[in-house]
């Protein structure tokens, strides 16, 4: 398998409104096959939602079986329904040589690092300033003032974890940020696990 065809994990974090989805979509033709990790939930699908697109929809019994089997990276119960990140589709995508992309918060990044650090690369995506973030959130006209205020307060907390990430992508221009994202995605595929390093050293010494 070529080095750029190997499965790897790329964790993206950053405040809501930073443009993560826009950057991924702009970079998609350049980054090879990837799997965008989506959550599993026990809540019923809303109108227009499809299994395997917005969420994986499962029964409470199925979800609890997977909890017992250790198949979740993380999970929580919200308003009587379970939500979690299932490791099964992640493992399948890795075995197929895909880049697995997570769009998760700072706490989620720490969990991925704790479980799969040696094949994980991470990038924090942010607008150039807090003021610019606020301008973008207001320009979207999709959130109330209360929600925007909460997102800004969350962003102030999240930026403090910047040093935990391998890369920072400043989304001043989508075109430039997408170019940087392509470089980061390729770097993620080149990262060697400890097992691969040991195998290479053994071969090299023969």
Please provide the DSSP assignment of 163-193 as one string.
Answer: GGSSEEEE-SSHHHHHHHHHHHHHHHHHPPP
Please give the pLDDT value at position 3.
Answer: 52
CA atoms within 13 A on the CB side of 140: 15
Q: Select from 72, 96, 120 the last residue of a domain.
A: 96
DSSP string, 111-148: HHHHHHGGGEEEEEEE-SSHHHHHHHHHHHT-S-HHHH
3-state secondary structure of 9: strand
pLDDT at 168: 97
- Are both 185 and 119 inside the same structural domain? yes
Q: Which domain holds residue 72?
A: 38-96
Q: 140 and 80: one domain?
A: no
The CATH number of the domain holding residue 189 is 3.40.50.300
Residue ranges, the chain, pLDDT below 50? 1, 4
pLDDT at 143: 79
- Of the three residues 74, 96, 118, the one that is the final residue of a domain is 96
Tell me: do 47 and 90 sit in the same domain.
yes
CATH code of the domain in which 79 resides: 3.30.63.10
Per-residue pLDDT at 6: 67
pTM: 0.83
Residue ending a domain, among 96, 114, 129, is 96
Give residue 105's pLDDT. Answer: 87
Question: Phi and psi for 11 in degrees, rounded to 5?
Answer: -95, 130
State which H helix or E strand residue 41 sits in.
Answer: strand 40-41
Q: What is the model's pLDDT at position 53?
A: 85
Q: How many domains does the chain have?
A: 2
């Amino acid at each position: 398998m070529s080095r750029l065809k190997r499965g790897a994990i790329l964790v993206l974090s950053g405040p809501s409104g930073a443009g993560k989805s826009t950057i991924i979509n702009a970079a998609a033709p350049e980054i090879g096959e990837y799997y965008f990790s989506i959550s599993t939930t026990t809540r019923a699908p809303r109108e227009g939602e499809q299994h395997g697109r917005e969420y994986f929809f499962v029964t409470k019994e199925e979800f609890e079986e997977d909890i017992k089997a250790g198949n979740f990276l993380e999970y929580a119960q919200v308003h009587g329904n379970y939500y979690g990140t299932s490791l099964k589709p992640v493992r399948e995508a890795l075995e197929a040589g895909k880049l697995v992309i997570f769009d998760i918060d700072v706490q989620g990044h720490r969990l991925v690092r704790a479980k799969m650090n040696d094949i994980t690369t991470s990038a924090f995506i942010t607008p150039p300033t807090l003021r610019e973030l606020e301008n973008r959130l207001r320009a979207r006209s999709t959130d109330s003032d209360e929600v925007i205020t909460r997102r800004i307060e969350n962003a102030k907390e999240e930026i403090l974890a910047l040093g935990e990430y391998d890369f920072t992508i400043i989304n001043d221009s989508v075109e430039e940020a997408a170019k940087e994202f392509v470089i980061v995605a390729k770097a993620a595929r080149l990262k060697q696990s400890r097992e691969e390093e040991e195998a290479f050293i053994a071969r090299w010494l023969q």
